[in-house]
């Protein structure tokens, strides 16, 4: 009987177990989808050093070769010191590991002969310098406090203790969190903590400016708010703006003398060495002929000259076969012009006998002093003085003319160069602007941000890269630039006045003759969104996306992860998306019947891999990207039909499945769109590099061969000319 009773029960038990197994697997899948993908990994702050170290290690110990124990030990010591620094939890541990890095730095120069040796040295110095500066500044504050005399004043004691606590705890914990961060989100949180720490330091300095504290603030700026853009351009690329004639032919009047100037050929142009601006020069030959109309009167001022002047009238003409070298410097203070000349001055003397000097001429002739010899002696005696006068007058007039011509230009430049090394052009503000030049390149760098808003700066050093021999290389720290741009956009129209944006990609957004496209429309009603979604369905485009995104309460932030992907962190996100056709009916795991799913998430992290292909000739630049990570942790899902005010919350299980579908949809939908043409004023992008994990992106501009070339001698008047 027991067998008969138990026999039919076994199959029922197996079916129940199977049902629970299926449900359990579905629940597990839903749970995994709801938790999101792995958070975007953060690159180590010393990634550039280890990349150079790896290259050098491969070079010194190639595969299959005998191991170089000495170099391997040095490499291991440096790697260990860098890891110890990142893992240090206290200021003391961090200083010890930093000292170990410095010790390891001492052996790096022994590999200078290797191809990657200089690269490693440059990368290590770029990482090490600001951290050493910060460590020295911290020690300076601590040493200053410890050297102060004892006091019984409780307020003074508390202030000193507060400074020590600030360095060891507030600042130290923020730096430790930043250096040890393994995800982009944690690093962004550390940066936010550091900014609060910097604000606290600013408040302390505002109350009482204490030199050690000011030094500490400057060191922190160098490390966590460094310049976020750099430009380097060679002279040939900007030749149409540099190469110009600086001397023009024609008569020149000065102090009663009229010189006839004949301009000659240009003999060169280029950049000059300067640490205080971009300096460039133009060189040009010219000839200046000046009759000295009062030369005969001048001779009477000299005793020997008077004796000669009694016998002959003397006429003098100076000829200067010269080269002008006009150096122009563009600095944050404006424009400055420095005229200089290479002179080759000669004077020709003509004579005519005076009516009353016959007797003297006869006596002079007996002494072999004929008119030619006397004229030559007069020339030799007059030449030094006339040469000195020509040189000085040329310099004085060149400076006067240059000052007069650059004065209105500087007046105009002061609209943009507002002082304190700051450049403002409409919504763009560049602070701490630095300009310099060497014969091979002109360079600029600074903090680029949005006018009226705080400038973030770069928290990673610029990767070690060679400057191109031809072209303008623009390096930008993309996260800080985009974060600043987003904050600026949120503060201004049209974003400020926008409540939402409708995004359509794929075939539904394609322009005539194009296969795919991208559209963005502002302030779209729910009904219009539904219509756009219905219209998009007609294209049967599985890769197309139709979304309505509510404007977040604050601007998104941007970062770059260890894989070189652009990471967008969006707060308070609300997205409406059409329900997939199979889930429209609802029921079961899909939740109630719905036409739209609304996703509400406190924080969304999206990692985008992309490349930009420059436009050449008549072609537009192309942006191609794909979302590779989409973290919606903590999101809630609501089902909506025709009335968005009657949204129904999905269960955690159903929400997990919907999130998975949404994530899969976004991650399977590539972005492929043409970028709008930019007026680059005669330039075009020849290269747009890959995004480096440090956040830096390089764009190289070259002269557009199809753009009109500025004439050699433009209509602009020469900056300086001379008699």
| Averaged pLDDT, 346-373 | 89
Going by pLDDT thresholds of 50, 70 and 90, the confidence category of residue 365 is confident
pLDDT of residue 115: 85
Q: Is the pLDDT of residue 316 over 80?
A: yes
Which strand (E) or helix (H) includes residue 435?
A: strand 428-438
The pLDDT of residue 497 is above 70: yes
DSSP code string of 192-215: HHHHHHHHHHHHHHHHS--HHHHH
Question: Tell me, what DSSP letter sits at residue 542?
Answer: T
Predicted local distance difference test score (pLDDT) of residue 588: 52
Span 15-35, mean pLDDT?
Answer: 39
Residue 141 CA to its chain's centroid (Å): 32
Give the whole-angstrom CA distance, residue 511 versus residue 519.
10
Sign of the torsion angle spanned by Cα atoms 139, 144, 148, 151 = negative
Answer with the residue of higher pLDDT: 199 or 339: 339
As a whole number, mean pLDDT of residues 492-498 equals 88
- Which whole number is the average pLDDT over 228-255? 91
Which segment of 10-24, 31-45, 618-632, 702-716 scores lowest on mean pLDDT?
10-24
pLDDT band at 38 (very low <50, low <70, confident <90, very high): low
DSSP state of 717: P
DSSP bridge pairs for 597:
577, 639
Average pLDDT over every residue of 381-396: 94
Confirm if 354 and 373 have CB atoms less than 8 A apart: no
Is the pLDDT at 32 greater than 80? The verdict is no
Q: What is the pLDDT averaged over residues 432-447?
A: 96
Rg (CA), the chain: 38
CA 422 to chain CA centroid, Å, is 15
282 exposure class (CB count in 10 Å sphere: 0-12, 13-18, 19+) = buried
Task: Print the SS3 string covering 290-305.
Answer: EEECCHHHHHCCCHHH
Helix (H) or strand (E) holding 152: none
Per-residue confidence band for 481, with pLDDT thresholds at 50, 70 and 90: very high
What was the pLDDT predicted at 432? 92
Q: How far apart are the first and last CA of the chain?
A: 131
C-beta separation of 310 from 351 below 8 A? no
Q: How far apart are CA 287 and CA 358, in angstroms?
A: 38
| Whether the predicted pLDDT of 24 surpasses 60 | no
The pLDDT assigned to 700 comes to 94
Q: Which residues contact 445 (CB under 8 A, 6 or more apart)?
A: 227, 229, 230, 231, 433, 434
User: Quick one: pLDDT at residue 62?
Assistant: 58
Element holding 247 (H helix, E strand): none
**Within 10 Å of residue 368's Cβ, how many Cβ atoms?**
7
pLDDT reading at 2 higher than 80? no
Contact of 645 with 602, CB cutoff 8 Å: no
**pLDDT over threshold 50, residue 162:** yes
Model confidence pLDDT, tens digit, residues 268-295: 999 999 999 999 999 999 999 999 999 9
The answer, yes or no, to whether residue 306 has pLDDT greater than 90, is no
Segment 390-403 shows an average pLDDT of: 92
Mean pLDDT of 39-67: 79
64, pLDDT greater than 60:
no
Of the pLDDT bands very low, low, confident and very high (cuts 50, 70, 90), residue 722 is very low
Which pLDDT value is given to residue 21?
A: 41
Q: 458: closest CA among 603, 558, 555?
A: 558
Kindly give, in sequence order, each residue whose CB lies less than 8 Å from that of residue 296, ignoring residues fewer than 6 positions away: 309, 313, 314, 315
Predicted confidence at residue 592, as pLDDT, reads 81
Q: What is the DSSP letter of 169?
A: I
pLDDT category of residue 61 using cuts at 50, 70 and 90? low
Q: How far apart are CA 288 and CA 302, in angstroms?
A: 27
Find the length of the chain.
723
Q: Which residue has the higher pLDDT, 12 or 75?
A: 75
Minimal CA–CA distance to 325: which of 340, 335, 336? 340
Q: Can you tell me the distance from the alpha carbon of 73 to that of 21, in angstroms, rounded to the nearest whole number?
A: 54
- pLDDT tens-digit series, residues 448-475: 988 888 778 899 888 888 888 889 999 9
Q: Is the dihedral of CA 339, 342, 348, 349 positive or negative?
A: positive
Q: Measured between alpha carbons, how far is 573 from 599 in angstroms, rounded to an integer?
A: 8
Q: Give tens-digit pLDDT for 94-125.
A: 989 999 999 888 888 888 888 888 999 999 99
Which of these ranges, 27-41, 99-113, 203-217, has the smallest mean pLDDT? 27-41
pLDDT in tens, 632-686: 878 899 999 989 999 999 988 888 888 887 788 778 878 888 887 777 777 888 8
- DSSP letter string, 684-698: EEEEEPPPPTTSEEE
Using omega within 30 degrees of 0 as the cis cutoff, is the peptide bond preceding 494 cis? yes
Other Cβ atoms within 10 Å of 65 Cβ, number: 8
User: Which of 309, 316, 319 is closest to 371 using CA atoms?
Assistant: 309
The whole-model pTM stands at 0.82
pLDDT of residue 688: 92
Q: Is the pLDDT of residue 353 over 60?
A: yes
Residue 526, Cβ density class (10 Å: 0-12 exposed, 13-18 middle, ≥19 buried): middle
Classify each residue of 476-510 as buried b or exposed e, where b means 16 or more C-beta atoms within 10 Å of its C-beta: bbbbbbbbbbbbbbbeeeeeeebebbbbbbbbbbb
Q: Can you give the pLDDT at residue 587?
A: 53
Q: What is the mean pLDDT of the chain?
A: 85
Return d(Cα 184, Cα 365) in angstroms, integer. 99
Closest Cα to residue 440, out of 236, 683, 684, 703? 236
In the prediction, which pLDDT does 659 show? 83
Phi, psi of 437, rounded to the nearest 5 degrees? -155, 150
Judged by DSSP in three states, 227 sits in coil
Pick the more confident residue, 541 or 392: 392
- For residue 530, the Cα-to-chain-centroid distance in whole angstroms is 42
What span, in angstroms and rounded, lies between the C-alpha atoms of 493 and 427?
12
Closest by CA position to 403, among listed 325, 324, 328, 323: 328
The pair of three-digit structure tokens given for residue 426, joined into one six-digit string:
């409409």
């Amino acid at each position: 009987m027991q067998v008969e009773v138990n026999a039919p029960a076994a199959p029922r038990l197996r079916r129940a177990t199977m049902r629970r197994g299926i449900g359990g697997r579905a629940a597990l899948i839903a749970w995994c989808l709801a938790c999101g993908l792995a958070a975007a990994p953060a690159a180590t702050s010393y990634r550039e050093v280890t990349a150079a170290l790896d290259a050098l290690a491969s070079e010194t110990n190639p595969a299959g070769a005998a191991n170089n124990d000495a170099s391997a030990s040095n490499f291991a010591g440096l790697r260990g010191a860098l890891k110890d620094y990142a893992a240090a939890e206290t200021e003391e541990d961090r200083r010890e590991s930093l000292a170990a890095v410095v010790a390891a730095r001492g052996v790096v120069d022994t590999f200078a002969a290797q191809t990657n040796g200089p690269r490693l040295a440059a990368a290590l110095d770029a990482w090490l310098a600001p951290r050493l500066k910060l460590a020295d500044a911290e020690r300076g504050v601590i040493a200053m406090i410890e050297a102060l005399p004892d006091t019984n004043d409780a307020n003074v004691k508390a202030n000193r203790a507060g400074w020590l606590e600030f360095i060891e705890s507030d600042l130290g914990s923020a730096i430790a969190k930043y250096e040890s961060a393994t995800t982009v989100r944690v690093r962004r949180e550390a940066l936010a903590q550091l900014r609060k720490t910097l604000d606290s330091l600013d408040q302390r300095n505002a109350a009482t400016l204490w030199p050690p504290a000011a030094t500490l603030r400057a060191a922190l700026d160098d490390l966590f708010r460094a310049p976020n853009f750099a430009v380097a351009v060679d002279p040939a690329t900007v030749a149409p703006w540099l190469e110009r004639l600086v001397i023009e032919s024609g008569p020149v009047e000065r102090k009663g003398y009229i010189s006839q100037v004949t301009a000659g050929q240009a003999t060169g142009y280029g950049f000059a060495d300067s640490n205080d601006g971009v300096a460039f020069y133009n060189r040009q030959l010219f000839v200046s002929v000046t009759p000295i109309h009062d030369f005969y009167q001048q001779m009477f001022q000299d005793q020997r000259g008077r004796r000669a002047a009694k016998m002959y009238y003397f006429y003098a003409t100076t000829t200067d076969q010269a080269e002008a070298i006009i150096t122009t410097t563009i600095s944050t203070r404006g424009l400055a012009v420095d005229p200089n000349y290479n002179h080759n001055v000669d004077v020709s003397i003509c004579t005519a006998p005076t009516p009353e000097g016959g007797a003297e001429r006869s006596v002079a002739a007996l002494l072999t002093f004929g008119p030619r010899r006397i004229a030559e002696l007069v020339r030799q005696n007059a030449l030094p003085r006339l040469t000195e006068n020509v040189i000085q007058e040329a310099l004085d007039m060149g400076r006067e003319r240059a000052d007069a011509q650059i004065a209105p230009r500087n007046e105009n430049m002061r609209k943009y160069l507002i002082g304190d090394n700051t450049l403002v052009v409409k919504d763009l503000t560049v602070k701490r602007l630095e300009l310099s030049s060497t014969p091979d390149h002109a360079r600029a760098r600074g903090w680029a941000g949005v006018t009226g808003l705080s400038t973030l700066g770069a928290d990673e050093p610029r990767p070690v890269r060679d400057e191109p021999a031809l072209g303008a290389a623009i390096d930008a720290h993309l996260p800080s630039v985009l974060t600043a741009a987003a904050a600026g956009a949120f503060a201004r129209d049209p974003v400020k006045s926008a409540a939402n944006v409708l995004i359509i990609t794929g075939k539904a957004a394609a322009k005539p003759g194009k296969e795919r496209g991208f559209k963005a429309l502002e302030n779209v009603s729910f009904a219009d969104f539904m219509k756009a979604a219905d219209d998009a369905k007609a294209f049967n485009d599985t890769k197309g996306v139709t979304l309505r995104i509510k404007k977040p309460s604050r601007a998104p932030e941007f970062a770059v992860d260890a894989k070189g992907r652009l990471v967008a962190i969006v707060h308070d996100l609300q997205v409406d998306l059409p329900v997939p056709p199979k889930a429209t009916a609802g029921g079961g795991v899909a939740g109630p019947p719905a036409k739209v799913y609304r996703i509400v998430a406190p924080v969304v992290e999206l990692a985008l891999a992309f490349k930009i292909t420059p436009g050449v000739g008549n072609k537009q630049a192309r942006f191609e990207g794909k979302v590779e990570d989409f973290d919606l942790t903590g999101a809630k899902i609501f089902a909506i039909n025709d009335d968005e005010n009657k949204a129904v919350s999905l269960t955690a299980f159903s929400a997990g499945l919907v999130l998975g579908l949404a994530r899969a949809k976004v991650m399977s939908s590539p972005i492929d769109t043409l970028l709008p043409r930019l007026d680059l004023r005669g330039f075009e992008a020849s290269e747009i590099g890959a995004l480096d994990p440090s956040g830096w992106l390089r764009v190289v501009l070259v002269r557009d061969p199809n753009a009109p070339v500025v004439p050699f001698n433009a209509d602009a008047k020469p900056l300086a000319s001379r008699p």
